[in-house]
């Protein structure tokens, strides 16, 4: 429909959102934004105004909490959240002659968190479980609920810049349950948890270790699938049995055995030994050694990991036991100076209440890790990944961590984040911490 005003014919305005679903957080200073594209035939884009005219729940975010910037055909919309929950926000474009058009932004707000000024939200998935820096502040993130790798700008909240779905390359019918990653040159090694699923059932895809090859860096990062091996779990069990069943791997992988128990079997850390490009440290969330409160965390060196990812039988070095104050390994990361950070947490599944801490280590067996920082535990989500290790000899060094928010009720409706119907509402949190 068109109409005339003072001899000029105008069409009906048009308004389109870059996404119709948006997630924010109470107290956040760096929430994602939505791009709004507007137009009207016969009118300059600068003559169009965009405003919020209605909120279905102003307690969460009202019309005055919708901030529109820009004057051209492309505007940016930011929302300030006041409370956890959902609100449908009506956005209206108005053009010359008084004609209007509206659209709806479905908004969801998660609660405030500690260290909110240093927090960013990686949207599109909620179960971040492994991460590797690829330069320029960008990071590759693995998710334990699917086999998709996602590239994010780590300093900004929002959706991934690029994704790679590896289902076909891995020939996987279910998730690999990605839990650890380590980079050597242009090769990134990834490992599944190797354990049973949460119901104690063996799922073959979880026994996968694989590689990807990186080209480019930062936002221009590209990935190519490399190779995959599927026998590391079996080789670990056979090796343990041949050495007196020291760690109970056979029992930990038995049918019906839940992996997240103190005597379970669950891998979450992967990094290479000092000075090596072939010996990988495989860090266990379970079992503790011995399997009781106060037990030590376990690392098993795999001396030919470069071949294990091609299907070769694994060869193992002498196991390493670390005193992490009764916690186990949730991630393990080394920098180019040979300095390690261990993200330590509980073997149990109750991630929102158990302690977490960062420990520094030199990667040498027999050398004791040193606690660098206790991590906050009052907020939803499990501390899961260390992106990279700063120079630990520099005072005030900062480290970037990521949470797995898959089991969190982010919006107060009793729905776990992993089960939310809209990927834009699923998210994990990344936060920087200053080390002691």
Gap between the Cα atoms of 246 and 300, Å rounded: 12
Residues 350 and 215 in one domain: yes
Residues 322 and 390 in one domain: yes
Q: Is the dihedral angle over the CA atoms 288, 354, 385, 273 positive or is it negative?
A: negative
Residues 164 and 187 in one domain: yes
Question: Which residue shows structure tokens 């079992």?
Answer: 287
For the sheet containing 328-334, what is the strand order?
328-334, 340-345, 357-361, 370-374
Residues 396 and 313 in one domain: yes
Phi (first) and psi of residue 148, to 5 degrees = -105, 130
Query: CATH number for the domain including 45?
Result: 2.60.40.1080
Structural domain that includes position 77: 10-110
Confirm whether 393 is domain-assigned: yes
Residues 72 and 173 in one domain: no
Residues 82 and 148 in one domain: no
Residues 96 and 219 in one domain: no
Question: What is the enclosing helix (H) or strand (E) of 236?
Answer: helix 232-242
Report yes or no: 317 and 284 within 8 Å, Cβ to Cβ: no
The total domain count for the chain is: 2
Quick one: which of 321, 271, 257, 314 has its CA closest to 294? 321
Question: Which residue shows structure tokens 């040498």?
Answer: 364
Residues 74 and 129 in one domain: no
pTM: 0.95
Residues of the chain under the 50 pLDDT cut: none
How many helices and strands in the chain, by DSSP H and E? 4, 30
Quick one: which of 143, 183, 182 has its CA closest to 163? 143
Last residue of a domain, one of 110, 139, 171: 110
**Chain segment 21-73, per-residue pLDDT in tens:** 999 999 999 999 999 999 999 999 999 999 999 999 999 999 999 999 999 99
Query: Please, which residues have CB within 8 angstroms of residue 421's CB and are 6 or more apart in sequence?
Result: none
Q: Dump the DSSP string for 177-210.
A: -EEEEEEETTEEEEEE--S--TTS---GGGG-EE
Residues 250 and 102 in one domain: no
Last residue of a domain, one of 86, 110, 134: 110
Residue 306 has a pLDDT of 98
Phi (first) and psi of residue 117, to 5 degrees = -65, -25
**What single DSSP character describes residue 47?**
G
Residues 297 and 408 in one domain: yes
Gap between the Cα atoms of 125 and 428, Å rounded: 7
Report yes or no: 307 and 321 within 8 Å, Cβ to Cβ: no
**Conformational region of residue 6, where left means phi above 0, alpha means psi within -120 to 50, and beta covers everything else:** left
Gap between the Cα atoms of 410 and 28, Å rounded: 14
Gap between the Cα atoms of 98 and 206, Å rounded: 59
294 three-state secondary structure: coil
**What single DSSP character describes residue 375?**
P
Residues 196 and 291 in one domain: yes
Residues 176 and 254 in one domain: yes
Q: Give strand ranges (E) for 80-127.
A: 85-94, 100-110, 119-123
Residue 8 has a pLDDT of 78
150 burial (CB, 10 Å; 0-12 / 13-18 / 19+) is buried
Residue 353 has a pLDDT of 76
Question: Which residue shows structure tokens 């405030």?
Answer: 112
Residue 349 has a pLDDT of 79
Confirm whether 404 is domain-assigned: yes
């Amino acid at each position: 429909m068109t109409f005339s005003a003072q001899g000029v014919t105008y069409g009906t305005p048009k308004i389109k959102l870059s996404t119709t679903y948006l997630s924010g957080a109470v107290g956040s200073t760096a929430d994602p934004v939505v791009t709004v594209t507007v137009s009207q035939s016969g009118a300059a884009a600068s003559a169009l105004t965009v405003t919020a005219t209605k909120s279905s729940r102003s307690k969460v975010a009202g019309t005055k909490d919708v901030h529109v910037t820009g004057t051209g055909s492309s505007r940016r919309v930011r929302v300030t959240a006041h409370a956890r929950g959902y609100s449908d926000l009506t956005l209206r474009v108005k053009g010359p002659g008084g004609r209007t058009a509206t659209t709806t932004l479905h908004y969801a707000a998660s609660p405030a968190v500690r260290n909110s000024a240093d927090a960013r939200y990686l949207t599109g998935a909620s179960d971040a479980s492994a991460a590797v820096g690829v330069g320029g502040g960008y990071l590759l993130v693995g998710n334990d609920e699917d086999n998709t790798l996602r590239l994010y700008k780590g300093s900004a909240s929002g959706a991934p810049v690029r994704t790679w779905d590896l289902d076909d390359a891995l020939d996987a019918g279910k998730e690999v349950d990605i839990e650890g990653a380590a980079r050597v040159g242009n090769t990134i090694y990834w490992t599944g948890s190797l354990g049973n699923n949460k119901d104690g059932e063996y799922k073959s895809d979880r026994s996968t270790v694989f590689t990807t090859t990186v080209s480019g860096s930062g936002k221009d990062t590209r990935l190519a699938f490399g190779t995959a091996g599927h026998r590391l779990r079996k080789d670990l069990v056979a090796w343990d049995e041949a050495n007196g069943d020291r760690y109970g791997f056979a029992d930990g992988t038995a049918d019906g055995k839940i992996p997240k128990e103190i005597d379970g079997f669950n891998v979450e850390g992967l990094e290479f030994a000092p000075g090596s490009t072939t010996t990988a440290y495989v860090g266990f969330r379970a079992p503790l050694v011995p399997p009781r409160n106060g037990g030590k965390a376990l690392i098993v060196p795999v001396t030919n990991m470069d071949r294990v990812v091609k299907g070769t039988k694994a060869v193992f070095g002498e196991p390493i036991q670390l005193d992490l104050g009764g916690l186990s390994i949730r991630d393990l990361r080394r920098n180019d100076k040979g300095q390690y950070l261990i993200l330590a947490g509980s073997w149990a599944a109750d991630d929102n209440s158990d302690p977490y801490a960062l420990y520094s280590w030199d990667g040498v067996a027999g050398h004791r890790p040193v606690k660098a920082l206790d991590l906050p535990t009052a907020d939803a989500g499990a501390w899961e990944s260390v992106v990279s290790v700063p120079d630990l000899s520099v005072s005030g060094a900062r480290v970037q961590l990521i949470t797995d928010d898959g089991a969190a009720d982010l919006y107060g409706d009793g729905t776990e984040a992993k089960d939310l119907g809209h990927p834009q509402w699923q998210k994990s949190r990344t936060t920087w911490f200053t080390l002691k």
